[in-house]
Amino acid sequence: MQYEVYSLKDRADLIDQVASLDDRSWPLFLQNGDAKSWSRFYDELSDTVLVLVQGDKVIAAGFTVPVIWDGTPENLPESIEAVLLNGLHAKRHGLKANTLIPIGALVDAEAQGQGLSAKVLVEMKTLALSLGLTSLVVPVRPTKKAQYPLQSITDYSTWRNSDGYLFDPWLRVHEKLGAEIIHIAASTLEVASSLSDWSAWTKMVFPVSGEYVVPGALMPVVADTDNDRAVYNEPNVWMLHPMQ
């Protein structure tokens, strides 16, 4: 597949297309999570948003954040918001980042099935190397985990096919590029809101307290009718890529 790669900063004329792809790529409830600094990708962090273009059409985008990380799994940022705040702090204060953390690799539906997601990851590594960064570590959202919401993320991340590769397609793409799992995060994004909000986002009802399987959610959503509140915690699988 032929395409050209730009930073969003260099192609500000593509912001509307990138924003549209961003909105279409996530379940509606995830767009209401606690990653409040995500909008900074469109201004302060636009130089590390990769845009893959065919002609004038955006076919994929990679949202990445250069951060400061000491290389230990226990000191990875605890949430997507923490990743963003780390990167924003470094940039605003002129601090030298050493690690690139991609927190969104999005492919337009019309371009899927052509191996483009792997190419986005390769472009991210190229970006990391061009910036002189020494690590590329990704909080991976397993694409098929939503089909198995009652399984723990820890167990699910160990499932393998008969060929020996990881069962989950997105985890497997990373693995085939040489990445290894270094940490499992029970929650890197929290969505907490009223039951009416959740009903609007999911077209479901939450009449009693308890756990609900919600389409697109990797784990059950927990409803509390006494307090008119439901909470979802999004897990991720952190994978470290080789830089060679």
- Give per-residue pLDDT as tens, 185-225: 999 999 999 999 999 999 999 999 999 999 999 999 999 99
Provide the residue range defining the domain that includes 86.
4-190+232-241
Amino acid present at 185: A
CATH of the domain at 183: 3.40.630.30
Using the structure block, give the residue that is written with the tokens 């694409």.
Answer: 143
> Looking at the domain assignment, is residue 222 inside a domain?
no
> Looking at the domain assignment, is residue 137 inside a domain?
yes
Q: Is the pLDDT of residue 3 over 90?
A: yes
Amino acid present at 26: W
DSSP 183-215: EEEEEEEEEEE-HHHHHHHHS----SSEEE--T
> Looking at the domain assignment, is residue 58 inside a domain?
yes
Decide: 223 and 209 in contact? Cβ < 8 Å.
yes
Using the structure block, give the residue that is written with the tokens 């059950």.
Answer: 220
> Looking at the domain assignment, is residue 24 inside a domain?
yes
Mean pLDDT of the chain: 97
* Angle, alpha carbons 147-149-153 (nearest 5°): 110
> Looking at the domain assignment, is residue 37 inside a domain?
yes
> Looking at the domain assignment, is residue 60 inside a domain?
yes
Helices of type H across 54-192: 80-92, 116-130, 153-156, 169-176
pLDDT of residue 1: 76
Q: Which residues pair with 106 in a beta bridge?
A: 61
3-state SS class at 31: helix
Give me the mean pLDDT over the 13-35 stretch.
97
Number of domains in the chain: 1
Model confidence band, residue 244 (pLDDT cutoffs 50, 70, 90): confident
CA distance 143 to 171: 8
> Looking at the domain assignment, is residue 198 inside a domain?
no
- Burial grade of 193 (CB within 10 A; 0-12, 13-18, 19 or more): middle
> Looking at the domain assignment, is residue 217 inside a domain?
no
CA 174 to chain centre: 13
